[in-house]
Amino acid sequence: MTLYSGDVTDFVAIGEVADATKKWLAMHLQTDLASSQRPAARDRVALTILRQARDYLADVREGFVLSVRTGQVSDKSEIRYLLDRVLLDWDALSRELDLALADEGEMAYEQELEQVRGQLLAFGMAIVALAALPRLPAEAITFPHSYNRPPTYADIAAPVTPGEVLARIEEMEGMLWQFARGRWGELVRRRYGPLRRTYGFFESSALLAGEQVRRFSATSL
């Protein structure tokens, strides 16, 4: 997503990405459903927003891979799922972190390594946002097609096990590709649950990041 500085600007960056993604989704869900055309996300602003959201979720996924422990998993089927999804991705993660072997047969530690703090921060923020989502107050919810009055995300259970967390991350990554296609009416009709969960995640993330920024600002006075 960006270089992490280790201060309040990290929360600002996460909040800006989440808020921009939420607002972009809300705009299209409110205006494009009545159109018979396919409003593909090809303009520069849309591509930038989607790329930043994708990069943030990539950081969240890396943070998950770096923090998950086998002791957290008790179900054998979930262990198999995590092995397929996480351990087999280690080579790609290693390349992302510049940990691959150098051509000379030496470890690439002689090069500057990417610090992993940012990925862990992104994952930590994501977990808090997912946990807070069911408890967001009605006045904070802006999803345009909520069927509840007042609107609520109370029915969206927070993921508990590592397998559930990874499944939610992958669902949101997949939805970003769907957003790029721009078939908003089809998403509302056929992918309503994943659409609402993804929108809610970015809404919750933006609110939490904003709260952290305000807390930092208050304590720094």
**38-62 confidence digits (pLDDT tens):** 444 457 888 899 999 999 999 999 8
Task: Confirm if 108 and 99 have CB atoms less than 8 A apart.
Answer: yes
Question: In this structure, what token pair is assigned to residue 218?
Answer: 């208050």
Give the pLDDT score at 24. Answer: 94
Q: Is residue 21 part of a domain?
A: yes
Q: Is residue 171 part of a domain?
A: yes
Pick the range with the lowest mean pLDDT from 21-25, 127-131, 160-164: 160-164
In the chain, the number of structural domains is: 1
Question: In this structure, what token pair is assigned to residue 195?
Answer: 């659409």
Give the pLDDT score at 147. Answer: 87
CA distance 55 to 197: 18
Q: Is residue 84 part of a domain?
A: yes
Tokens 């309503």 belong to which residue? 192
CA distance 24 to 20: 6
Q: Does 124 have pLDDT greater than 70?
A: yes
Pick the range with the lowest mean pLDDT from 42-46, 99-103, 143-147, 164-168: 99-103
pTM for the predicted model, two decimal places: 0.78
Confidence of residue 30 (pLDDT cuts 50, 70, 90): confident
The mean predicted confidence, pLDDT, of the chain is 79
Q: Is residue 221 part of a domain?
A: no
Give the pLDDT score at 45. Answer: 85
Of 28, 39, 29, nearest to 146 by C-alpha is 29
CA distance 166 to 175: 14
Q: Is residue 161 part of a domain?
A: yes
State percent of the chain over pLDDT 70: 66
DSSP SS3 for 101: strand
Of 203, 193, 141, nearest to 171 by C-alpha is 193
Q: Is residue 2 part of a domain?
A: no
Give the pLDDT score at 92. Answer: 56
Q: What is the pLDDT of residues 196-220, one digit of tens each?
A: 999 999 999 999 988 877 776 655 4
Q: Is residue 3 part of a domain?
A: no
Q: Is residue 95 part of a domain?
A: yes
| Domain ranges, residue 29 | 8-216
Distances (CA, A) of 168 to 27, 69, 193: 24, 18, 12
